[in-house]
Structures are given as structure tokens and as C-alpha cells.
Structure 1
Amino acid sequence: MKKVQHLLEWLKKHPAPTAASQPSIEPSTGVDRRNFLRNSALGGLSLGLMFDGKPEREMEYITQKVKRDSKPSELKITDLRVAVLQGVPFSSPIIRIDTNQGLVGWGEVRDGASPNYALMLKSRLLGKNPCNVEKIFKEIRQFAGHSRAAGGVCGVEMALWDLAGKAYNVPAYQLLGGKYRDYIRLYADTPEGRDYDEFAKHMVRRRDQGYTFLKMDFGIGMLADTPGMLVGAKNWSVKQQWNDAKPGMMGNYALTKHPFTRIQVTSKGIDTLAKHVGRVRDIVGYDTPLSADHFGHFDVNTAIQIGKAMEPFRLAWLEDLVPWFYTDQWKQISDAIDTPTLTGEDIFGKKEFIKLIDANAIDMIHPDLASSGGLLETKKIGDYAEEAGIPMAMHFAGSPICMMANIHCAAATENFVALEHHGVDVEGWEDIVTGIKPIVEKGFVKVPDKPGLGVELNEEVAKKFLKKGATWFAPTEIWNTRDSADREWS
């Protein structure tokens, strides 16, 4: 009431100017200061009387013409569509989630996975508030399996964080609890060459690009054409480690779990592998961490023999020597060799990582965020490992959209070491998105402070990567209707 009396007294002392009086005009703006002050006071008084002391209604009225990107509590999902990109460096289905307020969230199904893994979730998402990320994740996580089967759930989770960040106008890492670092270190695969001289040239290029952490592939595939290197390999397509379409007399090598091939490496073969790694190490030097991956399908005994042979070269880690779910075998290997062991790129969810961590079976974890559960679940995995004193490297082989999801998660997780980058040599890779330029600078990515993931799809460039025969974000009404009960308990 005192405020109203004060305003009335002020108005009496400052009457509106008469026609004969000279208004006070501000030269720079042309504004009549007396009328402006008087009208402002009257406006405030009228608001107070109109809304009878309800400040929230006053604020709504005062700001009704202020542009808003979003009202988070009223945000709803209205559509989900997918466009499949090819050669980034592999196939990557890009998810677009639309909302009732015009905000768009971007996500990505893991490389090599079906876009249907995401599309079948659409009926579970329509009408939901994307800011309730963890709640929605718990509702859809039952539709995720390990490796590529988790691609839909994880890709949707990325897009939800993108939307939540945009709705609240904060970067995704802030919603995960804040950041531990401003720059994210990348590690790059070592490009292969026809000989060591060509390989050395590639390594000089990597160093010039600024990468301070590298990874190489070597394994029994490189021994397959030389007699006396392998035992029991003739009946397997050893050089076809990833080609699961090629059958063989003994079965499909790519789909046969490591212990069941019974392939062994001779002493000559192990010496050859050691010589190869030694040459690579000489080229790279010992100042740069060098890790290794893709060894082939053999048993735990051979894994230990190879691991011991690699010890002089101080590799950063040996990756996926046996399948991730053989916890006891991983412990055997880790206990027997001094080079750090690492696995995890095909694991979905914290539960299976906990088994490996609690058993002291591996020295490092290696989740792929597009399989492990998305940003929040991967942070939880990293946090659990951190409490056990285990570092986390991160696997990644997709477009810049998925990379930025990894960047925010890595920024928010204390025990993070380095993030893989498979698209270093893909021409136009960085131009697939807008918002950050350059993305990678001297082997590091600066953590963006823009809302959500910090990037938007550059449709003009991204369309150049569109998979042959695929449609650009085609309508998906066929996935609108939910046709099953999802409850997992009775």
C-alpha cells in the first residue's frame, strides 16, 4: 500500500505536460522523458491493481512479448525421424526429434546399426517431455541390447539431452553436473601403409595434425599368408575378421567366439608380431602413447603369450583380446601381463561394467557412448570405475553429432583419458554440423558452451553423405502407434 501512495504522490508533483508546455526531448533517442516516466509509473500502478499482488502473473504480463526459445515444463515430443549417413566413416543413422515449441534435438544411432532400433521407440516418446531424460531412458532401456542393439536407445538419449540443454539454455555437460576439463584429448587410429616407409609418412602427418595419442591395429590376420605362423588357421577365414557374411568349413570366423576357433600362434608368428610393433614404436617414438586393437580370434593362452611379447614396447593398452563377457579370462590375462588391458565398446549399461571392475579383471574401461547407454549412463559407468581407481578411455566411430555427445560426457567425467576419433581422414567430416569450427584442433576438442550438444546438422553438407537409396528424414507415421505392452513385471 505504501508503494501505491508513493506513486500517487509522485504523480501529483509531476503532472502531464500541457499543450503549451515544452516537452523535454532526449536528443539521442527522441523520447519525451517526462511522459515516459509518468507512463511507466502509471503502468506499474495499473499492473499492481490489475493482478492484486500476484507477482507471477505480473511477470507473465510484462514479459509476454519477450521471445522465448522454450518453456521447459511445457515441452513435448511431436516427431522422430531418421536419415542414414554413409562414410562418416561408417554408416550412421542421424536422429531428429521435433517438439511443440520448435526445438530440435539431434542424436545418432551407433555406427553399423539399423535405424529401426530408433524408429521403434517413437511411439514410446510422442507427447513426452524430453527434459525428463532419465525417466524416459528407464522406460525405453529394455529395448537395448549389447553392441549395435543399443543404438536406438542411446541415440534417443543423446537427442533428449540436446533438447533439455536447449530448453534450459545450458550445455549438456552442465546438466551432468559440470565439467572437469575445457579440452578433450583425442586418440587417432594409425593409418596403415603398404610398407613401413609409407606408414612412417602417415605418422608424420598425424603428428603434424597435433595428435598426441595414437592407436594401431595388428593381429593374426597379417600372419595368415605366411607359412609357419599359425596353427589351425587354414579352415578359418582369418583375414575376414569383420565379414560375418562369409561362411567357412568350420563355421563363420567373424561370428565364432575367440576360444572356440582353437587357432594358435607359433613362436615365429609371435616374433613377427613383436618385430612389427617394434618398428611402429620406433616410428612413433616413446613420447606418444600408443595403444593396440584388432588381434583376431584366439584363446586366453595365446592372448597371454602375445601380451607378454608386447611388454617391451610400453603400449598404452591391449584392447578386446577376448570377448568382454569372459570376466574370468580377462582376469587371467590382466594378472599375467604388465601391459594394461581394456575392453567395453560393446557393453550396454553399468551392470556389466561393474562385474569387470569388481573382479579387477581389466585395467581400463572403454565404453562406446552410442552403445553403453548415452551420456548419463556412461558418466555413471565412469564414476563407478573412478571410485575403483580405473581410468576410462572412450570408443567412438561416427559423425560430429555423436562426437559432441561424447565430448560433453568426457568433460563431466573425472577419470576420462582420451576419446577415439575414426573420422580424421574423412573429407568434409567437420562440415556435417554447424556451431563449432574447427571441431578438432591439434588433437583436442574445446568443450562447447552452447546449449545442448552445441551443434546443429548442416543439411546441405550432410546430404552429400546420405546413404544410397535412403530418404532424407522421411515421414515416420508408421511408427506412431504403440502395439505392445512394455511392462517387465507382474
Structure 2
Amino acid sequence: RYLVGRDPHDLENLFRRVYSSGFTQRPDVSGMGCFSALEMACWDIIGKEADKPVYKLLGGQVHETLRSYTYLYPHTGSVHSEDARGKNVYNDPDMAAACALEYVEQGFNAVKLDPAGPYTAYDGHQPRLIDIDLSARMIKAIREAVGNRADILFGTHGQFTASGALRLARAIEPYDPLWFEEPVPPDMPEVMAQVARGTSIPIATGERLTTKFEFARVIENRAATILQPDLGRSGGILETKKIAAMAEAYHIQVAPHCYCGPIVGAANIQLAVTLPNFLILESLKQWDGFHATLLKKKIGWQDGNVIPSKEPGLGVELDEAVCDAHPYSGLDLHLQMMQTPLMP
């Protein structure tokens, strides 16, 4: 209702109308998630009206190609596919190493995993020794498989206390990961800063934050040297451009996160092309498979890099017939938190 009948060019006005709705005037993930989607659609309209890609309207092109990384994904079926032993790329070092090597052979020079145990509604917690041990064995196996051909990105989704995160960091430091992602819950950047000061691994965070106001607290506290805004909730393209500009002033790099699909992926590309402090972009493998069928023309990818589209707007066209033919009927998200405390 705050956007109906409004000019899609008036993005600053639209942001303030939504941000201040309900007399809240504070970061709200639900409201900003909805606004982010609509804001990206507005940029697509603006770009297509101007017959230019969005990045040409955001300061222009800095990067010809964009370095990308992928998560480790099982070969078949759902993300939880397992063999007869209950092993998969998320809990077996040998399978993870083989998967990582396969991606490197495809051209990726960075891969990501998060093997540090279950998520729980009672995070942050102290990691169990078995989880620390598995994390170290997983990253060791991958490092031995890929050598120095690829960076390893280590995620935890805010699972630990500061002291627990530092225990885990010490175990994986010998394998030189590019980053340690969200080592503690995202609500206390002061605590995350304790981890940043206590490890040599760069700290990354931001996928669960929204608007410049939450990211400003991360920057002020020196809690991370890599920011990972997700355009699906950060407040949209213009708001995230502001976040990146704040980060640039503190020599902090930006690695756009992508928890959604190819539309957010395309918006990430439009933004990342313009950022002097861009580090790396999250890809869902090579943007192939089902993600490619959702678009009339797939996102370009070659030799580990995303190739920005020169088409107007976001640079992609959604195949609505494919979308209509595949309605989501599930009740669960990919990441499910345990509802009970994690016991040793």
C-alpha cells in the first residue's frame, strides 16, 4: 500500500515510507524483505525505461567480471542427500574434499561450507569438541585436495559464543580460510568484535542484517572486515549501495550474499559491478540447473567468474510459465533450527 500508485523512480521516498510505516522507524527484516523485492522490481523498470543495465545508473561499471564462489552441494536429489551410511558433503571430509575439487576443476577458485554442527534456537552456544574436530577435519581435507587453487570460506550462521567461536577459529586457522562467517549471533556486533580481535581469520557478516542502520553498528564496532548484505532483506539495491559506500570508507570489502534465487542473483550482479570494494559474489553453482530454467536466458558464468549482462534493467527475464509450473508446496526452510538446547 505504500508503493501503490507511486513513481518507481522515487526510491528514497518509497524507502522512507516503508521504513517508517507503523510508527516503527527501525530496521525490520520482514518489512524490508518485502520492500527489497519491490525495490529491485522498481530498478528493473527504471533500467528498461532508460534502455540501460542498472549498473549504468548506479555509477557505472568498475568490474568486467565478478569472482564467484559456490557452496558445496550434494550431487543428487535434495540438499540433504546422503549415502547408505548417512554421510554427505556436509559431514564427511572425504566427500566434501571430492566435491570441492570437482568445483575447482570446473573453474571455481573459492568454495564454501558450514560443517560446525546443528543450528539451535538457543544459539550462541559453546561448540562441542566433536563439532570442532569435524570442522577442522573438513577444512583440512579440502585444503589438501585443492591446495592453493581455491580459497575456503567457512560459515557458521551465528552459532557460537565469542569464546566458543575463538576455540573453533584456533582449530581452523592453520588452513587459512578466506573468512569466518557470522561466528556469533548477529544481534551483538560488540561481541563479534571480540572474535575479530582474537583471530587472524577475516570475519564476515551481514546476511541477516537489514538497512544501513544495522550495518553501521558492525562498522562502528570493527566487528568484521567483510560485509555480506543480502539484497533480499537488506533494503534493496540503493540501500545496499549506501552500505557498501560506508564500508569503503573503512576499507571493508563487500561480498554480496544470495539466499534467494536468480532474480536476487541478477540484482547482486548489477550492484557488485559498481563497487570499488567488491570482494566476491555468491553463486548457486554455475547458475545452471533449475535456476537456469527459471530465466529465459541464464546468468553468464565462465572460469569461476560471473559475466555481467549488458541487457537493460536487471539483465534477466523471468520465465513465468516455468514458475507457475513449479509452485512451492513445502512447509520447511532449507535451514532449520533445533528447538531444544544442544547437549555435549
Tell whether 2:218 aligns with 1:356.
Answer: yes
Mapped contact 2:231–2:240 kept (Cα < 8 A): yes
* Corresponding letter in the other structure for 2:102: R
User: What percent identity do the matched residue pairs reach?
Assistant: 31
Q: Is the CA contact 1:308–1:338 (under 8 Å) kept in the aligned structure 2?
A: no
**Alpha-carbon separation, structure 2, partners of 1:351 and 1:399:** 26
- In 1, Cα distance between equivalents of 2:65 and 2:103: 19
SS at match of 1:255: coil
Name the residue aligned to 2:308: 447
> Would the aligned equivalents of 1:190 and 1:216 in 2 still touch at CA under 8 Å?
yes
- What TM-score, normalized to structure 2? 0.83
Residue 201 in structure 1 maps to residue 83 in structure 2: no
RMSD of Structure 2 on Structure 1 (CA) = 2.4
Q: 1:197/1:302 Cα in 2 relative to 1: closer, same or farther (>3 Å)? A: closer
Distance in 2 of aligned mates of 1:468 and 1:422 = 21
Out of 380-389 and 147-156, give the one that drifted further: 147-156
Alignment-derived partner of residue 427 in structure 1: 289
Residues 345-394 of structure 1: CA deviation (Å, up to 9, x unaligned)? 11111112112112212121111111111111111111111111111111
Change (3 A) 1:431 1:167: same
Aligned pair 1:457/2:318, yes or no? yes
Structure number with higher relative contact order (C-alpha < 8 Å, ≥ 6 residues apart): 2
1:217 paired to 2:99: no
Where does residue 397 of structure 1 map in the other structure? 259
Q: Could you report, residue by residue, the CA deviation over 1:289-321 in whole angstroms, capped at 9, with x for unpaired residues? A: 111112673321111111122111110000111
Could you tell me which runs of 5 or more consecutive residues in structure 2 were left unpaired when the two chains were aligned.
74-87, 331-344
Residues 265-287 of structure 1: CA distance to partner in whole angstroms, max 9, x if unpaired?
34x76345323321121122223
Look up the match of 1:308: 170
CA distance in 1, matches of 2:177, 2:105: 21
Q: Is the 8 A contact 1:146 1:347 kept in 2?
A: no
Partner of 2:13: 135
Aligned letter for 1:341?
I
1:347 partner SS? coil
Deviation of 1:427 (Å): 2.6
Question: What SS does the aligned partner of 2:270 have?
Answer: helix
Is contact 2:287-2:299 (8 Å) kept? no
Q: Distance in 2 between matches of 1:269 and 1:141?
A: 40
Native 8 Å contact 1:345 1:368 kept in 2: yes
Equivalent position SS for 2:100: helix
Alpha-carbon shift at residue 195 of structure 1 (Å): 4.0
Secondary structure of the 2:279 match is: strand
Corresponding letter in the other structure for 2:122 = T
Distance 1:438 1:369, change over 3 A: closer
Once the 2 structures are TM-superposed, how far is the Cα of residue 154 of structure 1 from its aligned partner?
0.4
Q: How does 1:363-374 map to 2 (within 5 A)?
A: 363-374=225-236
Q: Distance in 2 between matches of 1:421 and 1:153?
A: 23
Work out whether residues 208 and 230 of structure 2, in 8 Å CA contact, stay in contact via their aligned partners in 1: yes
Contact 2:162–2:184 (Cα < 8 Å) also in 1: yes
CA-CA distance at 1:430 after TM superposition: 1.0
Contact 1:395 1:420 in 2 (8 A): yes
Higher-Rg structure is 1
Could you say which residue in structure 2 is the equivalent of 1:163?
Answer: 45
Long gaps (5+) in structure 1: 1-122, 222-238, 242-253, 470-490
The 1:377/1:425 distance shift into structure 2, 3 A limit, reads closer
Question: What code does the residue aligned with 1:256 have?
Answer: Y
1:255 aligns with 2:96: no
Say whether the 8 Å CA contact 2:100–2:142 is kept in structure 1.
no
The superposition leaves residues 4-54 of structure 1 with CA deviations (integer Å, 9 ceiling, x where unpaired) of: xxxxxxxxxxxxxxxxxxxxxxxxxxxxxxxxxxxxxxxxxxxxxxxxxxx
Corresponding residue for residue 7 of structure 1: none
Tell me how far 1:199 sits from its aligned partner: 3.0
Q: Assess if the C-alpha contact under 8 Å between 1:146 and 1:371 holds in 2.
A: no
Q: Within 2, Cα distance between the matches of 1:419 and 1:147?
A: 22
Q: Distance in 1 between matches of 2:259 and 2:207?
A: 11
User: Is the CA contact 1:398–1:422 (under 8 Å) kept in the aligned structure 2?
Assistant: no
Amino acid at match of 1:203: A
- Count of residues in correspondence between the two structures: 312
SS at match of 1:416: coil
1:332, 1:307 → 2: CA distance? Answer: 12
Question: Offset of 1:420 from its aligned partner?
Answer: 1.1
Distance 1:341 1:125, change over 3 A: same
Aligned to 1:291: 153
TM-score normalised to structure 1 length: 0.59
